[in-house]
Structure 1
C-alpha cells in the first residue's frame, strides 16, 4: 500500500511526465517532525529550475482547513540554491507561517549572490494548473480522514515589492509589469 510520500511523489511523477528529479534532504529542527525534502527538476519546463517541497504539510497550522501546503518554485536559473532557500523556509517556518496566497516572507539577505532579491511572495504555482496543484489526496485508501496537499507557488521578489504587497495586496502587485521567473529583473515597483 502506498504511503503519503509515495502518493505525493506519484502525483509529481505524473505532472512531470516521468522526469527524474534530484532530492535534497533538509534536516528537521522541529521535534516530532521528519525533515523536509527538496524535489528539484532541472529544465522543467524548458529553461526553468522547478523545485517542490515535501515535509511542510506534515506540520499543523490553524489556517490549513482545506489541506496542507507544499511549495513550488520555478525560476529562470540553474542555481540550485533557489531550491535550498525554499526548502529552508519550509522547514524553518512550518507550523508558524500559513504560506497562504499573498503571504510575504523576508529572507533577510540576498537569496543567491547573483540576484538582488531578498524575499518571496506566495501565490498559485507558475508551472502547474489548478488541477495539478490543489486537492492532492495523499491519505490512506478507505480511511475516513481527509489528508490533502495543496501546492503553493513561491516567487522571489525584491524588498520594495514585499513592502508594496504588504501595503496594497498581492493582486495590485500582480498587475504590475514583471516577469515572475526572472530572478535578475529590476524591481517592478
Structure 2
C-alpha cells in the first residue's frame, strides 16, 4: 500500500510526465509537525517556466479544513527557484496559525522574493496552470483529500488593493499571473 507522500508524488509524476523534480526541505519550526518540502520542476508546464509545489502544509490541520487540506503551487516565467522556496517557507511558517490558505488570502513575504523581481507577496486562488481535476480532490489515503492552491506573486500595493476591494476586483484587472517582472497594476 503506497504511503501518503508516495500517493501525492505519484499524482505529481503524472502531471509532470514523469519529470524528476528537485526536493528542498524546510525544517519545521512547529513542535510535532514534520518539515515542509518544496518540490521544484524546471520547464513545467513549458520551457522557460518554473513550477513549485509544497508537501507538508496539509499535515498540519486547521479548523476550516472540513472537506480537504491544502498544498501550495506556484507557476512563473522564471528560472529562479526562490519562487518555490518562498511558498514552502510561508507554508511552514504560517501553518497551524490563523491563516487557512483560502482563495483570496494574501501572504506577505516581508522582502523581495527573487532578485529578478520587486514582488514581495502572494495571493491565493485556483492554480491557472492545472486543470480542475488535477488540483482538486487528490486521494492521498487520508479521510480528507488534498487540494492544490495556486500562489500568484504580487506587489505590496496589489496586496493592499485585494485586502480593500477583494480578489475579484484584482483578478479582473489586466495583468499576467506568470510574469514576475511586470509592473504593479494598482
TM-score, normalising length: structure 1: 0.95
Q: Which residue of 2 aligns with 1:143?
A: none
Distance in 1 of aligned mates of 2:62 and 2:106: 17
Q: CA RMSD in A?
A: 0.9
How many residues of Structure 1 are paired with residues of Structure 2 in the alignment? 184
Deviations 1:91-146 (A, max 9, x none): 00112211100000111111112211011000001211110000111116xxxxx1
Distance in 1 of aligned mates of 2:27 and 2:105: 24
Q: Which residue of 1 aligns with 2:49?
A: 48
Unaligned residue ranges in structure 2 (runs of 5+)? none
Equivalent of 1:156 in 145, 153, 157: 153
Q: Which residue of 1 aligns with 2:103?
A: 101
Question: Is structure 2 residue 8 aligned with structure 1 residue 11?
Answer: no
The 5 A counterparts of 1:1-189 are 1-46=1-46, 47-96=48-97, 97-139=99-141, 146-189=143-186
Deviations 1:144-168 (A, max 9, x none): xx13100000000000100010011
